[in-house]
Structures are given as structure tokens and as C-alpha cells.
Structure 1
Amino acid sequence: MILLLGETAAAREISECLNSRRLELMRMQMWSEKACLHLPSLIIDASPPSSTLKFTSLRNWCEQRGVPYLRLERPETIIPVSPLIYSVANWEDALLQLEQRVSSLYQDNGRLVTIFVTTGSHQLESIVRSPFARFARIVVRVLPEGRLVQKCQDMGIPPRNIVAMQGQFSKEVNRVFFKFYNADIILTRDSGSAGGTDTKISAALELGLEIVLIKRSTANLGLTVYSVHELLDWVDANVVRAT
């Protein structure tokens, strides 16, 4: 059995291709050891880059049991050189950078600073509960799922500041959103061109907005491929022929 992690477009494509090969497949968004009643022959991780650290325990579990763990990683985005881009290594550094930028912009402009969050609802509460939140208006873009919209509302974000839409978005669409909400700071992470990082950055720079960019984790990912085609080639060579 192959265990496929992730609800991305790439995960859906992989699922269709593996099903066409008549391989036994189970798709999961979250993982727990109890969920694996039988030892899988392969685990494919096609989750977003933001999930990399979340599955560290799973990678360790696979290593202990000799189960191949194959990670589909999006190529890094080529980041332009700009004084408006503040690159950070992790979420904690992002919060520190946001605190500094919000404080500076609030002192300069004397009004609430609008942070347009494109990293979804995961870890959003740490922004909402942060000391600098009283000087900021937080706008968040999430997938159009009721539970995510409700989660944002439960944190105190009003519906008018919740954009429930599924990307990927073009530069023009991002530009319209950022301008409509009068954004000052864009919070995003490097999720590759497949995640629209390049279009967010180019739209923000065109509007002269500041960008807090969370760079990729340097965690050891083990077996790594950088395209669905490369992943399927690996499966064909190492799984299909063995069945």
C-alpha cells in the first residue's frame, strides 16, 4: 500500500496517476501512527512546504521501519533583490519582523497597518494574539472551506477581512486584492511558483508594499523529487516493477 499525504493539486494528480497504475493507495491529509494499520510500502509526501516540519516524526518513523519516504518539493522561487523584502527563516522570526515593521509603519503613518496574510489560517492565532496586533488590521486569505472561515472568525477576524478563495492567483489578481484591502505588508512563504509565490511578490513590489517572506526549511527531507513527472518515474522504477 502507498500512503499519499497532501490535498494539493499535485497530490490529486499523483493520485489519479497511481490509480491508473492499479496501485493500492490511501490518501491522508494528516498522519498518525495509529492510522497505519498495515506497514505501507511507500509514503509520498505531496503536502505544501509549510507542512515540512509537521511530518518530521513521520520521516523518523519511516526511517526506523525501512519505509521509503518520497517528498515532492517545489523548486525554490528566485527572489528579486529589494529593500521591501524581509526574508526570515521561520515563523518565530516572521513574528519578530512583523512587530518591527508594524511599529515603524504605525509611527510613520499614524494609522492601523494592514497585514495581508497569504499563509492561511495555520499559526494565524499567533499573529492575532501578538502585542502588535492592536496596531494592525489583519486580512487573511484561506481556502473556501467553512471550517477555515469559522476558525478565522473565532479568532476575532471579521468576515470582511477574510478572503475565502482557492488559488493559484495571477499577479493581476493579487494586485487587485492587495490594493482593494489597502495592504501595507504582505506575509507569505516560499511555496514555489506552483504556490504562486512569484506572482504575490511581483504584485506587492509593483504596489510598493513591504513583504515578510518565510524561506524554505532546511530540514532533511530524505528522498526528494521536484516534479510530478520525476516522482512517477521513481515509482515506476521502484514500485510498479516490483508488484
Structure 2
Amino acid sequence: MIILLGETAAAREISACLRSRKLELVRMQTWSERTCLHSPNLIIDASPPSSSLKFAPLRNWCEQRNIPYLRLERPETIIPDNPLIYPVVNWEDALLQLEQRVCTLSQEKGRLITIFVTTGSHQLETIVQSSFARLARLVIRVLPEGRLVQKCQDMGISPRDIVAMQGQFSKEVNRVLFKFYGADILFTRDSGLAGGTDTKISAALELGLEIVLIKRNTICQGLTVNSVKELLDWVDANA
């Protein structure tokens, strides 16, 4: 049995390919030891980079039992050297940087500052409840799933400020969206080329937006591949 982690586009592609190979597959978004009463033969982690810490106990669990833990890790994006980009290493630092930038821009412009958020709905409540939220308008881009849209609305995000779309997005699409919503700040994380980080950054810079970017953490992932094809080749050779 193979356990597949993640709700990314890559995870969906992997799921379809593995099922076409008639392999027994279980998809999970969260994990606890109780979910693995029957030990799997392989764990495939195709979750976003932000989930690395969340699944660290599972990696340890697999290591103790000699179960392969295969991580799909998108290559890190080469970030241009630009004064409009504010790189941070974690969510807490991102909130501090957002507070500084929102307060500064609010004083300069004398109005609400629009933050275009592409980190999804995860931990969004910490922005909504932050001290700088009163100075900001939040525009949230999430996957077009009812539960995610509802989650945003439950936190008080207006429907007009929820962009429910499935990527990848070209530079042109990002540019149009940022301009349409009047974005002042892009808040994003490095999800690699496959996650469209490069096109988001280039579009934002072209419009003169400030960018608060959560960089990739460097936790060791064990077995790592950099593409769906490489992952499937490994499964074919080892599963």
C-alpha cells in the first residue's frame, strides 16, 4: 500500500498515474500513527513546502520502520536581487515584515494597503487577527474548492476579495490580477517553478509591488525527487 500526501496539482497527477498502474493507494492530508495501523510499503509526500514541518514526525516514523519516504521537492526559485523583495524564513517573520511594510505604506499613501495573498488559507487567521489588519485589505487566492472559499468567508474575507482559481498562472495572468485588485504587496512563498513563483515575482516587480517572500526551509527530506516523472520512475523501479 502506498500513502500519498498532499492536495497539490502534482499530487493529483501522481494519484492518477499510480491508480492507472493498479497500485493500492490511500491519499491523506494529515497523519497520525492511528492512520497507519496497516504499515504502508511507501510514503509519497507531494505536499507543499509549507508542510515540511507538519510531516516531520511521519518521516521519523518511516525511518524507524525502514519504510521509504519519497519527497517531491520542487527546485528552489532563483530570487532576483531587488529592494522590493523582502525574503523571510518562516511565517512569524513574514507577519513582522508585513506589519512593517503595511504601516510604512499606509503612512505614505494615506489609505488601506492591499495585500494579495497567494499562500492559501492556511494560517490566514493570523493575518486577519493581526494588529495591522485594520490598515489592510486582504485579497486571497485559493484553489476553487468550496471548503476553502467558505473558510475565507468565515474569517470575514469579502467574496469580492476571494480569487478561487487553479494555477499555474502565467506572468500575464498574475499581472492582470494584481493590477485589477490594486495590489500594493504580494505575500507569497517559494513553491518553486512548478508553483509559479517566478511568474508571480516577475509580474509583481513589473508593477512595482513590494513582495514579502517566505523562502524554502532546508529540512532534510530523505529520498528526494524533483519532478513527477522522476518520482514515477523511482516507483516503477522500487515499488
**Superposition TM-score, scaled by structure 1 size:** 0.95
1:212 aligns with 2:212: yes
Alignment partner, residue 221 of structure 1: 221
1:109 aligns with 2:109: yes
Alignment partner, residue 167 of structure 1: 167
The number of aligned residues is: 239
5+ long unaligned stretches in structure 1: none
1:14 aligns with 2:14: yes
Q: Could you tell me which amino acid in structure 2 is paired with residue 86 of structure 1? A: Y
Alignment partner, residue 80 of structure 2: 80
Alignment partner, residue 194 of structure 2: 194
1:62 aligns with 2:36: no
CA–CA distance in 2 between the matches of 1:88 and 1:216?
9
Q: Could you tell me which amino acid in structure 1 is paired with residue 76 of structure 2? A: E
CA–CA distance in 1 between the matches of 2:4 and 2:153?
31
Q: Could you tell me which amino acid in structure 1 is paired with residue 212 of structure 2? A: V
CA–CA distance in 2 between the matches of 1:9 and 1:113?
31
CA–CA distance in 1 between the matches of 2:112 and 2:151?
23
Q: Could you tell me which amino acid in structure 1 is paired with residue 222 of structure 2? A: G
Q: Deviations over 1:167-191 (max 9, x none)?
A: 1111111111111111100000000
Pairwise CA distance, 1:8: 1.8
After TM superposition, which residue ranges in structure 1, 4 or more long, deviate above 4 angstroms? none
Find the residue that maps to 2:34 and give its secondary structure: helix
Q: Deviations over 1:212-231 (max 9, x none)?
A: 00000111211111111211
Q: Could you tell me which amino acid in structure 1 is paired with residue 115 of structure 2? A: I
Pairwise CA distance, 1:77: 0.9
CA–CA distance in 2 between the matches of 1:21 and 1:166?
26
Q: Could you tell me which amino acid in structure 2 is paired with residue 66 of structure 1? A: N
Pairwise CA distance, 1:140: 0.6
Pairwise CA distance, 1:237: 2.4
CA–CA distance in 2 between the matches of 1:156 and 1:64?
44
CA–CA distance in 2 between the matches of 1:143 and 1:18?
23
CA–CA distance in 1 between the matches of 2:9 and 2:123?
22
Pairwise CA distance, 1:47: 1.0
Find the residue that maps to 2:106 and give its secondary structure: helix
Pairwise CA distance, 1:65: 1.6
Pairwise CA distance, 1:31: 2.0
Higher mean displacement: 61-70 or 208-217: 61-70
Q: Deviations over 1:66-91 (max 9, x none)?
A: 21111000011111111000000000
Q: Deviations over 1:176-214 (max 9, x none)?
A: 111111110000000011111111101100000000000
CA–CA distance in 2 between the matches of 1:46 and 1:87?
24
CA–CA distance in 2 between the matches of 1:236 and 1:152?
40
1:135 aligns with 2:107: no
Q: Deviations over 1:25-81 (max 9, x none)?
A: 222222222122210011000111121111111111111222111100001111111
Q: In angstroms, what is the RMSD of aligned CA positions?
A: 1.1
CA–CA distance in 2 between the matches of 1:217 and 1:44?
19
Q: Deviations over 1:136-171 (max 9, x none)?
A: 111111111111111111111111111111111111
Q: Could you tell me which amino acid in structure 1 is paired with residue 177 of structure 2? A: F
CA–CA distance in 1 between the matches of 2:41 and 2:184?
48
Higher mean displacement: 183-192 or 144-153: 144-153
